[in-house]
Structure formats: C-alpha cells, structure tokens
Structure 1
Amino acid sequence: MNQTYSDAAANAQSNPRADDDAPKAEREERDPFLTAMGERVRLLRARRGMTRKTLASETGLSERHLANLESGVGNASVLVLRQIAATLNCPLAEVIGDETTSSAEWLLIRELLQGRDQAALQRARVALSEMFAQAPRDPHRKDRIALIGLRGAGKSTLGRMLAQERKVPFIEITKVIQQMAGCPPAEIHSLYGASAYRRYEQRALEAVIGEHERAVIASPGGLVSEPATFNALLAHCFTVWLQATPEEHMRRVVAQGDLRPMSGNKEAMEDLKRILAGRGELYGRADMTFDTSERTLADAYLQLRDRLAARLAAELSDET
C-alpha cells in the first residue's frame, strides 16, 4: 500500500534450524513417529506465533533440545512433552498424536469430514456449534465486525475507517488488555508468560462483547490459536480475515520505523512465513477474507467496505 498502516507487523526472531545441522544419514534414519511429533510441535508453536527461542525460555528447556525434538532427532521424556504442551496450552495428546484416533466415534466423524472443502467444513462447524451451544444465537453478531490476521495486515487503520463510517466504536483488544492488566502486553508476556496473556485476552474479549452491541474490533494476531477465545469471537462477531503477503507485512513494519524484524532478515522472514502457514487454516474460519496486499489505503478501504456490505446483506437475505 502507498500509505503505512498503524498496525505493527509480526515480531519475528531468528530461529536455529536443526535440520541444516543434522548429518544426512541421521536425517534418513529418523523414527517416523518422532519426526511426525516434531512437526506437530513446530506447527503448534507456529500457530501461537512463538519462536523456538521463546518456547525454550518459557519451558526452561534448551533451545538446542527443542531443535532436536522438532527435527525428529530428540527422544523427549513424557515430562518434557507435558511441559511443552502446557506452555503451548494444548492437550498432551495433541502433541503426541492425532486425537481423532482415540475412539470409534471419532474415527467415524473424521471419516465423514475427510476430503470436504473449506465451505463444507465451515457449515459442519456452524451446525455443531449451534447443536451444542449453551446460549441462544447472538442477535448482534453481524453488528460487531471483528478484523483478524497478523499485525501489519491493516486491522487498525482500516478498522478505524470502517468504524467511523458505520458510526460505531473502534476497539483494539490489545488496548483493553493493557487497561485490565495495568501494563503493556509485552510486560505480561515477560513477567507472567504466554498463558497469562491468553487469559487476559479472553477476559478482554468477553468484556468487549458484553459492553458493545455494535463495534468494529481489531483482534490480536494470535487470538485464533486459543480455541475457546476464537470460538467466542466467531459466535459473537462477523469476522473478516485481512490477508497480506509476508513481504508486505515486513515492509509495513520497517516503514513504521520498527527494525526489529530485520535482525537476521532471512530467519525473520522464514519465521513469519511459518506463522502465516501455521495459522492459515485458523484464519480461514473467518466469515470473509480480504487481501490488502498491493493496494493503496483508499482502494483497500473502499473495496473492503463494499464487499463487507454485500456479504452482510446476502446473509440477512438468506436468514429471511
């Protein structure tokens, strides 16, 4: 875009790569189970936007040990795996293996959904959500527009413009978190860890939904990695995934004067691409997607506004 967004792009850090260091013979002899488990750990970490260095710091494990685990070389103990699962805020079963193999019913459900396209899976998810919903459908869901995506996609700038035209409040979840905690999100992470930050994130979203029937909401990039929080967002807001290429994310951050992502440029870009790939399926659960890459700010806003209005009108027509 010609005009810089006020959203910051992803804060990627350098990432040692065990795959490059391991001898060729060793790579070929890796146990398939350990290799698959290492890939799952890497995917779970990417979805949460955590570098290997951050995960090592929060688990107390060495970065090299995690590198070996992710490359299928390390044979980690159950206690180490449990520690990793707790830090990634997921069941141990999700790290060790596929939960959908745990029962005959799971297998039948998986078989039913296997091979379906994204639209069919989204319909199935909505139907299941309504079937098991503890509360009636939110009548104000389409009056709350929630923008999701990585920092740098345009959530803050486009969100403010959208809120101004719709004459509704513009709310950034990160600022609500800061008000609740009395300190910036970065301090919450450094003092109390990622799990504490995610709890604040959930509380902040609940507060915003409870206080505002109409609003435009900019959500943190990693909110989608916490199932309960993301499901609440999907249930109470019409969600729009603002997409951009990794190069565009990086360019916007540097244009704003934030040079942190440029430290170890090659590794930073690889981390950013991995996070986008890891979260792509989660972001894809949004009601609508819109690519902000290679557009001027004015063009991006006008097209987003028009497409959003058309989608909301179409959904209202389907309901009546």
Structure 2
Amino acid sequence: MSTELQERSPTDATPPDAPRHPFLVALGERVRNLRSRRGMTRKAVAQAADVSERHLANLEYGTGNASILVLLQVAQALHCDLSELLGDVTTSSPEWLMIRELLEHRSEPDLRRARQQLSELFHAPGAADRARTTRIAVIGLRGAGKSALGQRLAQDLGYAFIELSREIEQFAGCSINEIHNLYGTNAYRRYERRALEEAIQIYPEVVIATPGGLVADAANFNLLLQHCYTIWLQADPGDHMGRVAAQGDMRPMAASAEAMEDLKRILAGRSAFYAKADLRFNTSDYDSEEAAFRALRQSVREATGIKA
C-alpha cells in the first residue's frame, strides 16, 4: 500500500464547492490544530511524515483520502497518538467512557474546576496550592517579555530567576536546536520535564521563564499549573515579531517566508492553553519596559498577596 495520500483522478476529484465528508473535515481541522500547537509548518510535518506537502494540505482541508499508514505517519510527525488524531482517546475502557459522559458538553469553567479537583485528588491536597503563590511561571510566545520582565520581577520579589531553556540545555549538554535535530521532540520533552521538576523541587521561591512551546505537552503543562502561579505574558503579533527580530533570532519562524502568518497561526493554536494561566498581562498596552514592569509588579502582588 502506498504511504502517500491516495490521489484521485480528475474525474474522481471533488469539486471545490461540493460538500466534504464531515469526518474528513474534522480530521483535517485536528491536524491543523495539532500542527499549530506544536509550532510546526506544513512543510516540516510533511517532511517528518514522509508525505508530500500537497497531500498533507489535502488532508488538512478535508479533501484527502488518507490511508491508515499515512495517518500513522502524520501522527508520529505531530508527536501524538493516532487515537488523538482520529479524535477519540476516551474509548479505551468503560471508566474512560463514563468520565467522558460526565464531562461532555460542560463549559470551560466547569472543565477547569474538574481538572483542578482531579489534580488535588491524585497529588498532595493543598500542598501545591500553598507553594504556588511563591513559585511564579511566565508563559507565552517568544518576544512577550518573559526573560526581561521575569528577571526584573524575580529581583523585585527577592526570588531566584530561572530561564528554563538554559536549564534544558545544561541537562542535554547541547543547544535547543541540537536537541531537536539530533534526538527529536520526544527527547526534548523529557529534558524539559526533568528541568521543570528540578526547578520545582529546589526553589520554593522562584520566577521561571518557560519556553513558548511548553504548553504543547499536556503532562509538562499540568505539572507547571499544579505547582506554579502562572502568568501569560501577551503581546500583539507585530510586537512579538519586532522583539524577536531585535534579539537577532527569528525562531520559530526562521524557515518560513511568511513569518507573520506563521506567528499568528502558532499563537492561535496555543492561545487556548495559554489562557489557562492564573493571570494575563498584555505588554503591548505599555509604551516602555519600565511601565510594563511597574504594572506587572502591582498585578502580581495584588493577585498573590505578596507584600511590598
């Protein structure tokens, strides 16, 4: 069987205005969302899955008739289970099905409360909550100000400051790019988990600047939410791009000729996860780093009860 999406002949092609099968449309949307969450371009996924970019595009738009082998390759390229790509990870046991029934059609606030209670159920009740207010993590895309504002906030509070990316590189003994190129995303996530666990264990009072893609790994993000008071540092796309360019680094948009569209796509794919943070703070609302820091400092102290 071919490991490409099965091409149809011109006579079999679906007209652009013809209705597409709902399953294929939903499948394509899940592929796009997973790709955006991972911050991967279509070209990168196509190369990793060993399929053509054209065929992957057909799959994403709900017009590609994919073989099961291609779906498996795409799932591996996106570092997810095939069941997640197909849209149902909750059919593996009767308990899963019953839990799904309880949670189905619940609102986002209800689901958030359920997740928090489950976290308390399976971990030491209350222990993490007591430490969360003095263990602060800033999340968001590159260029939001995580390093600059995070370091200033740590100094103001008298806390340690950790750049998690640097800790990951120390564990791995090489750069972030080299980890991905030599060992792959799964290895990177393991180093990320190890660095985060050590930071939580060692520092009861700390400000942690996290990599922008940490939210793409549910296990690592759950760990962060459980043990840290989280702040989503936001910025307008133009400010994100300008600040990253000013640092002389175009990651994660370096391979794309349409960098701004890539940035917006990545932000759209991750926003629902960033929104789980305890506090949102938009740095684009301020005309200088100093003004943004003063406002952030006040917001954090008011929200956590930390006194000046």
Q: Fold conserved (TM > 0.5)?
A: yes
Q: Structure 1 residues 168, 289: closer, same or farther in 2, change over 3 A?
A: same
Cα shift readout 1:43-75 (whole Å, capped 9, x = no counterpart): 011111111122223223322222221111222
Structure-2 residue corresponding to 1:219: 210
Question: What is the identity percentage for the equivalent residue pairs of Structure 1 and Structure 2?
Answer: 53
Match of 1:311 among 298, 303, 308: 303
Q: TM-score, normalised by structure 2?
A: 0.86
Cα shift readout 1:209-243 (whole Å, capped 9, x = no counterpart): 12211110000001011011000001111110101
Structure-1 residue corresponding to 2:152: 161
Structure-2 residue corresponding to 1:289: 280
For the residues of structure 2 that align with 1:147 and 1:174, how far apart are their CA atoms?
13
* Alignment of structure 1 residues 56-67 onto 2, 5 Å: 56-67=46-57
The alignment status of 1:40 with 2:33, answered yes or no, reads: no
Cα shift readout 1:133-190 (whole Å, capped 9, x = no counterpart): 3676324222111000001100000011011111121101110011111110001111
For the residues of structure 1 that align with 2:109 and 2:293, how far apart are their CA atoms?
26
Cα shift readout 1:233-262 (whole Å, capped 9, x = no counterpart): 011111101011112111212233446748
Match of 1:77 among 67, 77, 89: 67
For the residues of structure 2 that align with 1:237 and 1:120, how far apart are their CA atoms?
21
Structure-1 residue corresponding to 2:233: 242
State the aligned residue count.
Answer: 289
The alignment status of 1:110 with 2:103, answered yes or no, reads: yes
One-letter amino acid of the counterpart of residue 144, structure 2: A
Q: What is the SS of the residue equivalent to 1:170?
A: strand
For the residues of structure 2 that align with 1:303 and 1:288, how far apart are their CA atoms?
13
The alignment status of 1:300 with 2:280, answered yes or no, reads: no
Match of 1:275 among 241, 251, 266: 266
For the residues of structure 1 that align with 2:173 and 2:254, how far apart are their CA atoms?
30
One-letter amino acid of the counterpart of residue 305, structure 1: R
For the residues of structure 2 that align with 1:220 and 1:193, how far apart are their CA atoms?
16
Point out the more displaced range, 127-136 or 164-173: 127-136
For the residues of structure 1 that align with 2:261 and 2:44, how far apart are their CA atoms?
16
- 1:306: Cα distance to partner? 0.5
For the residues of structure 2 that align with 1:196 and 1:100, how far apart are their CA atoms?
26
For the residues of structure 2 that align with 1:62 and 1:24, how far apart are their CA atoms?
19
Is 1:147–1:218's contact at 8 Å kept on the other side of the alignment?
A: yes
Q: Please, which runs of 5 or more residues in structure 1 have no aligned partner? A: 1-22
Point out the more displaced range, 31-40 or 52-61: 52-61
Q: What is the SS of the residue equivalent to 1:25?
A: coil
Is 1:155–1:242's contact at 8 Å kept on the other side of the alignment?
A: yes
For the residues of structure 1 that align with 2:255 and 2:296, how far apart are their CA atoms?
33
Is 1:58–1:193's contact at 8 Å kept on the other side of the alignment?
A: no
Q: What is the SS of the residue equivalent to 1:293?
A: helix
Of structures 1 and 2, the one with the larger relative CO (CA 8 A, separation 6+) is: 1
One-letter amino acid of the counterpart of residue 283, structure 2: T
Q: Structure 1 residues 163, 235: closer, same or farther in 2, change over 3 A?
A: same
Is 1:155–1:218's contact at 8 Å kept on the other side of the alignment?
A: yes
The alignment status of 1:186 with 2:177, answered yes or no, reads: yes
Q: What is the SS of the residue equivalent to 1:30?
A: coil
Is 1:87–1:194's contact at 8 Å kept on the other side of the alignment?
A: no
For the residues of structure 2 that align with 1:135 and 1:197, how far apart are their CA atoms?
30
For the residues of structure 2 that align with 1:56 and 1:29, how far apart are their CA atoms?
26
Q: Please, which runs of 5 or more residues in structure 2 have no aligned partner? A: 1-12
For the residues of structure 1 that align with 2:204 and 2:30, how far apart are their CA atoms?
38
For the residues of structure 2 that align with 1:237 and 1:263, how far apart are their CA atoms?
33
Q: Structure 1 residues 204, 276: closer, same or farther in 2, change over 3 A?
A: same
Is 2:103–2:111's contact at 8 Å kept on the other side of the alignment?
A: no
